[in-house]
Amino acid sequence: NDGGHDAKNLRVKLVLLGDSGVGKSCIVLRFVRGQFDPTSKVTVGASFLSQTIALQDSTTVKFEIWDTAGQERYAALAPLYYRGAAVAVVVYDITSPDSFSKAQYWVKELQKHGSPDIVMALVGNKADLNEKREVAVQDGIDYAEKNRMFFIETSAKTADNINELFEEIAKRLPRPSA
């Protein structure tokens, strides 16, 4: 075993970035435990969880997920988490234009300082709050396209598109040649 990097069993470091309150921790909790806890605690510093999924071609992908805190006072720590990450998931809240701007800041940061071959996803979360939407779907699509990112809207609350998010990321991972 070479540490999980054979062609059939991938192990990838994934970091979640985005403003405080956009739902990063809830997305992880929904994906890993299948739960949504509306009283979930604010993340301090960063937390770590892992989850393995199987793809149709029988490849397994083990995500080692670093869920960061969005607060300004932790911004200086972010490079510790995204450095060496194969995947970055940048999250905003579709009811918050400020969080969409903050997502764009993180994308630029990753383009400057992340791995050159990092797989990036842009996620508009809280899609269940469509009646309070303040970021158009098309704005997410356009920004992601310009920056060669995968885009999806999710709801950690209803579970909408949460598994799809991680499955799509898995499909986009560069495969090591055997």
User: Under the rule (CB under 6 A), what is the footprint of ligand GDP?
Assistant: 18, 20-26, 38, 40, 43, 70, 125-126, 128-129, 155-157
In the region spanning residues 74 to 113, those forming contacts with Mg ion, defined by CB under 5 A, are none
Return the one option of Mg ion, ligand GDP, none that residue 120 interacts with (CB less than 5 to 8 A, by type): none
CA-CA-CA-CA dihedral for 178, 81, 26, 75, to nearest 10: -150
Q: Do the Cβ atoms of 91 and 103 come closer than 8 Å?
A: yes
* The only residue of 13, 25, 89, 127 in contact with Mg ion, by rule CB under 5 A: 25
Residue span binding Mg ion (CB under 5 A) among the ranges 38-46, 55-63, 93-101, 156-164: 38-46
Q: How far apart are CA 128 and CA 155, in angstroms?
A: 6
What residue number has its CB nearest to ligand GDP? 23
Strand order in the sheet with 46-54: 46-54, 60-68, 9-18, 87-93, 119-125, 150-153
Chain residues binding Mg ion by CB under 5 A are: 24-25, 43
